[in-house]
Amino acid sequence: MSCVFCDIVNKKIPAFVVAENKNAIAFLDINPIADGHTVVISKKHYANLRECPDEVLSDMIKLSKEVANKISESKLKPWGFNYLSNDQKIAGQEIMHIHFHVIPKYGKHEGFKFGIGTHYVDEVKKVYELLNKK
């Protein structure tokens, strides 16, 4: 099964690499929603956060921070950032390889915007009990 992110790691597909470390690589998103929108992926294939080893997740988060600092110190000068990871198609995951988006914000109505829906939301106490039921 082909994975576009694995192809980037293996240099079969070119990418604008911004930074990398032992377990992760960061590159500019090919379909950005803001200038500097960067994708941070694991170098080894894991489908999502739940499958990814802690050491790899740690390196991905550290690289996300490094990228955000690099963007902040650049001439782009964002006002803030969104950090985003989706898990499964229903949550918006398009490529089934763990990745985080580092999305600079330049204005309230630009770039990534939250759309909060409350469908299927139960009372907090009931949800807490369901989470802790054995």
The catalytic residue positions are 99
Q: Which residues pair with 27 in a beta bridge?
A: 17, 39
Report the C-alpha gap between 12 and 25 in whole angstroms.
15
Report the C-alpha gap between 98 and 42 in whole angstroms.
7
Report the C-alpha gap between 10 and 14 in whole angstroms.
10
Question: Closest Cα partner for 25 from 37, 39, 35?
Answer: 39
Helical spans, DSSP H, in the chain: 4-9, 54-72, 124-132
Report the C-alpha gap between 15 and 122 in whole angstroms.
43
